[in-house]
Amino acid sequence: MVGFIIMLVSSLVFGLAKTFYILWFARALQGIGSAFASTAGMIDAAMFPHLGYIVDQRHASAYGSVYAIADAAACFGFSLGPFISGPLVSVLEFKK
């Protein structure tokens, strides 16, 4: 929970940053918050029990495949972010 609070505060600071140094500081704080959140596994812990229940009820034979697809989708989203954010920042032109 601490990681998500750090992420919330640092994301607000990141969005309101007026200088590069504040932007950099907020991004570093986001990294720390993300490390706390992912170490605790709160995202997976919240989603996977519900996913497991649905799979048990409807698709018991595909139990492993469903978890593999869900994990692959989450990893794909995390890996796609840096490739999208670079061109997006170039187009939106962060104000100096």
Higher pLDDT, 52 or 94: 52
Give me the pLDDT at residue 32, please.
86
Mean of pLDDT values over 26-31? 88
Query: Would you say 7 and 31 are in contact if contact means Cβ atoms under 8 Å apart?
Result: no
Query: Would you say 4 and 37 are in contact if contact means Cβ atoms under 8 Å apart?
Result: yes
pTM (2 d.p.): 0.43
The 3 state secondary structure assigned to the chain is: CHHHHHHHHHHHHHHCCCCHHHHHHHHHHHHHHHHHHHHHCHHHHHHHHHHHHHHHHHCHHHHHHHHHHHHHHHHHHHHHHHHHHHHHHHHHCCCC
| % of the chain beyond a pLDDT of 90 | 1
User: For the chain, what are the domain ranges?
Assistant: 1-40, 43-96
Give me the pLDDT at residue 46, please.
66
Reported as a single tens digit per residue, the pLDDT across 36-82 is 776 555 556 566 777 777 777 777 677 777 777 777 877 787 788 88
Q: What does pLDDT average to over the chain?
A: 78
